[in-house]
Amino acid sequence: MANLQPVRGTHDLLPEDMRRHRAVIERARDTAALYGFAEMATPVFEFTEVFARTLGETSDVVTKEMYTFADKGGDSLTLRPEGTAGIARAVISNGLSQALPVKAFYNGPMFRHERPQKGRQRQFHQFGVELIGVPTPQADIEVLACARAILAAIGLAGRVTLEINTLGDTESRANYRTALVDYLSGHVDALSEDSRQRLERNPLRILDSKDPGDRQVVADAPALADHLTPAAADFFAAVRQGLEALDIPYEINPRLVRGLDYYGHTAFEFTTDALGAQGTVLAGGRYDGLIETMGGPSIPGVGWAAGVERLAMLIEDVPAAPRPLVLVPLGEAADKVALTLAETLRRAGHVVEQGYSGNLKKRLNRANRQNARAALILGDDELARGEATLRDLDSGEQTPLPLADPLPALAAYRPADR
């Protein structure tokens, strides 16, 4: 017998879940548009090289978490584990580097084979923003302001903390890498196995380790801020000044890093304590070397992505489902009238459900379970008078409704957003 449970790490979005999901996406979409971002969509799968190059051949995502398969033509394809790489690939393959800046937002499913936990699944959804082609701090400030505005639109502005850091420029990171490796090499025995491996290929990632022993070692590590070039220090100062000018509160987290070489300057996360230990709901940074790493021209970029499931768990003012009108036809003749009446009402913006079967009492009970606003009862007596009986299911009041022109009397029952 077939296994009829969802695959581990996936879940169904039932109507209540979907309303939460849509509320996040729609508010994010509307807010991003105010900042001049236009919606883009890239394929759910790409050539594996797109992600192997951008995420790093030795990263955990590439080596452990990607869903990779060979298609019938023998090409290696991967379900997208994140959205930025696809947007960057689209900039290259569509010649968008000739029309900079590119300001795009996207949303959709991503796929990673990792341990499912609260708000994190193997198929999950992200909303993201990318600003490509602007090398100045103005772009960093704008994407951060957009992120903050979206979180405010969702109702989370007071429940999140913006943490920022600078990764400096290439020269800053080279100087810091040398100092960090020198320090960590003296504490190898205290590092976790993962961090020992990262010491060779990606030492900055050790700063972000959650292992208690690693965190104890990292507490006394040299600070990247002490190895910034003057230009990198000025860039970070300009970002902070912009946030302050916009009254966007932030905290500097010197251990906030991005491990790949194409990241630089601003790194940031919006975090919350409402979800337990896994508190990041939106994260991003500047990736000036990404497009060049993929084989395109040298084009700067900055952006972020947010987990829709996590935001949906936090949203409080979830829109209620619209309350329908329920048609209750009693008899074959009434069924035919109800069919055309339902379509007339729907075209006028009403949400209409049909009471398909059962006696009057059963149909009205079902209408109450559907949280219907009113019932339109159609029996032989009503049809003989050219009417329906309009029963207000909140007050119980009944009034005749002329079938020749039903819309004026139903105006008060039309959902406000229709």
| Spatial contact of 136 and 265, defined as CB atoms under 8 Å apart | no
Q: Binding site annotation covers 126?
A: yes
Q: H/E/C letters for each residue in the chain?
A: CCCCCCCCCCCCCCHHHHHHHHHHHHHHHHHHHHCCCEECCCCCEEEHHHHHHHHCCCCHHHHHHCCEEECCCCCEEEECCCCHHHHHHHHHHCCHHHCCCEEEEEEEEEECCCCCECCECCEEEEEEEEEECCCCHHHHHHHHHHHHHHHHHHCCHHHCEEEEEECCCHHHHHHHHHHHHHHHHCCHHHCCHHHHHHHHHCHHHHHHCCCHHHHHHHCCCCCHHHHCCHHHHHHHHHHHHHHHHCCCCCEECCCCCCCCCCCEEEEEEEECCCCCCCCEEEEEEECCCHHHHCCCCCCCEEEEEEEHHHHHHHCCCCCCCCCCEEEEECCHHHHHHHHHHHHHHHHCCCCEEECCCCCHHHHHHHHHHCCCCEEEEECHHHHHHCEEEEEECCCCCEEEEECCCCHHHHHHHCCCCC
pLDDT of 206 reads: 84
What order of strands is seen across the sheet that includes strand 352-354? 352-354, 325-329, 374-378, 387-392, 398-402
pLDDT of 243 reads: 98
Q: Which residues contact 100 (CB under 8 A, 6 or more apart)?
A: 132, 133, 134, 299
Residue-wise pLDDT tens digits, 297-341: 999 999 999 999 999 998 888 878 889 999 999 988 999 999 999
pLDDT of 2 reads: 61
Q: Which residues contact 36 (CB under 8 A, 6 or more apart)?
A: 103
Which ranges of the chain have pLDDT less than 70? 1-2, 56-60, 62-63, 119, 259, 261, 276-278, 417-418
Q: Binding site annotation covers 49?
A: no
- CB-based burial, 317-330: b 16+ in 10 Å, e otherwise: eeeeeebbbbbbbb
Q: Binding site annotation covers 27?
A: no
Q: At what angle do helices 84-93 and 48-55 cross, to 10 degrees?
A: 120
Residue intervals of the chain classified under CATH 3.40.50.800 are: 325-413
Domain 325-413 classification at class level: alpha beta
Residue-wise pLDDT tens digits, 227-257: 999 999 999 999 999 999 999 999 999 888 8
CA distance 288 to 137: 12
Q: Binding site annotation covers 82?
A: yes
Greatest Cα pair distance in the chain: 94
Angle at 260 between CA 259 and CA 263, to 5 degrees: 100
Q: Binding site annotation covers 159?
A: no
Residue intervals of the chain classified under CATH 3.30.930.10 are: 15-169+229-314
| Spatial contact of 308 and 121, defined as CB atoms under 8 Å apart | no
CA distance 260 to 11: 31
Q: Binding site annotation covers 278?
A: no
Q: Binding site annotation covers 263?
A: yes
The yes or no reply on domain 15-169+229-314 and CATH 3.30.930.10 is yes
